[in-house]
Amino acid sequence: MASSDASGTEEVRVSALTPLKLVGTMCVFLALCLDVGAVVSPAWVTADDQYYQSLWQSCWKPVSSVEWSCKSPLASDWQIATLALLLGGAVLILLSFIVALASLCSRCRSRCYKPVAVMLFVAVVLQVCSLALFPIKFIETVHLRVYHEFNWGYGLAWGSTIFSFGGAILYCLNPKNYEDYY
């Protein structure tokens, strides 16, 4: 937006809202959606139609049976820690999304960018710790005699982490350095 004063010089005012921040907000939204999908997913680990595990339950079907037998996996410390770290990251992503949306509607946009980026970076650290802890401890403690794989629920959590990291990077970029482009 340009305006001119009485002396004929032109003053250029640049809004702190850039396409980078809009894309960053979309990244945060996608991260939030992927986190919700990961948390409610029934398939973090699957094994040959005989076993599956989510964050909330672990189920197996004996070969000679038609019935599934399920129990809560939250009996061990590492599974509780995995869930707590993942949910902590999800809460930070939710808060950063709320702040990012509020910054889109307010006049003091640039003051909100740094807190959003910091919350997203902390969420990324929490989620990476969770997603590294899960397979290490799973392989160490669960002894499956059949082929097993980490499934789409685990992948959604990684997708959320990647989009959170991308959003954090986009919120770190200073729009004043790019005013010639906008």
Find how far residue 52's CA is from the centre of its chain: 23
Q: Rounded distance, CA 39 to CA 25, Å?
A: 21
Q: Which residues, in sequence order, are bridge partners of residue 11?
A: 3
Between the two ends of the chain, the Cα-to-Cα distance in Å is: 10
**Which residue's structure tokens are 């595990």?**
53
53 backbone φψ class: left, alpha, beta (φ>0; ψ -120 to 50): beta
The Cα 25–Cα 171 span in angstroms is 9
| Residue 58 pLDDT | 86
Report which DSSP code applies to 16: S
| Tokens linked to 81 | 């820690």
Residue type, 138: F
Q: Are 137 and 78 in contact (CB under 8 A)?
A: yes
Q: What is the CA radius of gyration of the chain?
A: 22
Give the whole-angstrom CA distance, residue 100 versus residue 113. 7
| Beta carbons of 93 and 31 less than 8 angstroms apart | yes
Q: What is the pLDDT along the chain (182 residues), one digit of tens a residue?
A: 444 455 555 544 445 557 788 888 899 999 999 999 999 998 898 887 778 888 888 888 877 777 888 888 888 899 999 999 999 999 999 999 999 888 877 766 667 788 999 999 999 999 999 999 999 988 888 776 667 788 899 999 999 999 999 999 988 886 665 544 44
| Rounded CA separation 144/60 (Å) | 10
Assigned token pair, 123: 């969420």
Q: Which two tokens stand for residue 68?
A: 């599934």
In the prediction, which pLDDT does 100 show?
Answer: 87
pLDDT number for residue 3: 46
DSSP-derived secondary structure for 17-42: --HHHHHHHHHHHHHHHHHHHHHH-S
- Say which CATH class 18-43+75-144+152-174 falls into: mainly alpha
Secondary structure class of 54 (helix, strand, coil): coil
> Hey, where are the domains in the chain?
18-43+75-144+152-174
